[in-house]
Chains A and B, each alone.
Chain A
Amino acid sequence: MTENTDALAQARALDGLLTIGGHDFRSRLIVGTGKYATNQVMVDAIRASGAEMVTVAVRRVDLDRTKEEGILHHLDPKEFFLLANTAGCYTAEDALRYARLARAAGFNEWIKLEVIGDQTTLLPDVAATLEAAKVLAGEGFKVMAYTSDDLITALRLEDAGCVAVMPLASPIGSGLGVVNPYFIREIKRRLHVPVIVDAGVGTASDACVTMEQGVDGVLMNTALAAAKDPVRMAHAMKHAIVAGRLAFLAGRMPSREIAVPSSPLEGMLD
């Protein structure tokens, strides 16, 4: 189509697919659908991001029609792979209820498990998340678990049967980027299932740095929805994810706190 598309295709050809729970994705970017100013901007931004998997939330139908209608009036479930979430749940029991409702919608058995433990930071309740993950995996759900950047919890979630573990970069909606790259790297080094960094990415450089840690993908929502121009930011994120991934695969040069000349020292004039 355009030069940019070709460049992106060439870049992607140097990377493998992202395989989660037996399903292949070309894009390593997963995006949310919340908080956009309009549905049209949401759809345009998601298309621009190149994401194939998109998250949605489960909520009551507004019978008074004072709020907007369901998202599937705007987003074609044939075009995108829907990942329902349990956002807003504060107990394992609630998360199970929302996950089961989401599966009953009939699209797939995938769930982004999220059990929040604190209203101020929205940090996950990892004990409740683990408890819910065990039950849902036992019921045949493909669980992608949102969690803290704690290695032991991540290992336990993998043991519980999660198809992906999703540590946060920083708190949901904060845009602070990866606050603890070491723990993210350590989680990636130790787990066998895909590690998707979920929450906290603010701008393209954050996404790039996150991917440079070696993780399998990034999930973001606010970074696009709250950008002044979500569609432009979605393009930027698409390239940043690919750039960070390729930089990781390429293997960076060693960093050192001395200068090393790039040009030959020989052949200088007298």
Chain B
Amino acid sequence: MSRTTTIKVRLNGKERDVDEGLTVRSLLESLELHPSLVVVELNKEILARDAYGDTPVREGDNLELVHFVGGG
């Protein structure tokens, strides 16, 4: 039996429990977000796209996932 432990992160301003052991890339995939359409800010620093796969999501991380919306 596999038990997944979860960690608490702050995701777009809200506390969330996510699976332990995720990378930023697998987190985006679990949220069904296309990495090429999303920009990730991790603890107030912009994360380069090619680092998504190597960057672990850790307890207490503050993640902002942003994209382009309609605007003037």
Contact = CB atoms under 8 A, between A and B. Distances in A.
A61 to B, nearest CB: 4
Contacts, number: 93
Contacts of B33: 61
A192 interface: no
Most A-side CB within 10 Å, residue of B14, B36, B48, B70 = B70
Given A100-B46, A104-B46, A63 B70 contact: no
A169 interface: no
A85 B71 contact: yes
Contacts of B68: 56-59, 70-72, 82, 84, 102, 105
Interface stretch (A9-17, A27-35, A258-266): A27-35
B61 to A, nearest CB: 15
A38 B69 CA distance: 13
Most A-side CB within 10 Å, residue of B33, B36, B72 = B72
B39 A72 contact: no
A61 B72 contact: no
User: Which interface class (under 10, 10 to 19, 20 to 34, 35 or more) fits A?
Assistant: 35 or more
B20 to A, nearest CB: 19
B5 to A, nearest CB: 21
B54 to A, nearest CB: 17
Contacts of B65: 60-61, 63
B21 to A, nearest CB: 20
Interface in A66-113: 68, 70-73, 82, 84-85, 87, 100-102, 104-106
Nearest to A59: B69
B38 A34 contact: no
A35 B66 contact: no
B37 interface: yes
29 contacts: A32-B71, A32-B72, A33-B70, A35-B70, A36-B70, A56-B69, A57-B72, A58-B67, A58-B69, A59-B66, A59-B67, A59-B68, A59-B69, A61-B65, A61-B66, A63-B12, A68-B69, A70-B37, A70-B67, A70-B68, A70-B69, A71-B67, A71-B70, A84-B68, A87-B72, A101-B39, A101-B41, A199-B72, A222-B72
Interface of A: 32-36, 42, 55-61, 63, 68, 70-73, 82, 84-85, 87, 100-102, 104-106, 172, 199, 219-222
Give me the 4 closest cross-chain CB pairs, A-B, nearest first: A57-B71, A32-B72, A221-B72, A70-B67
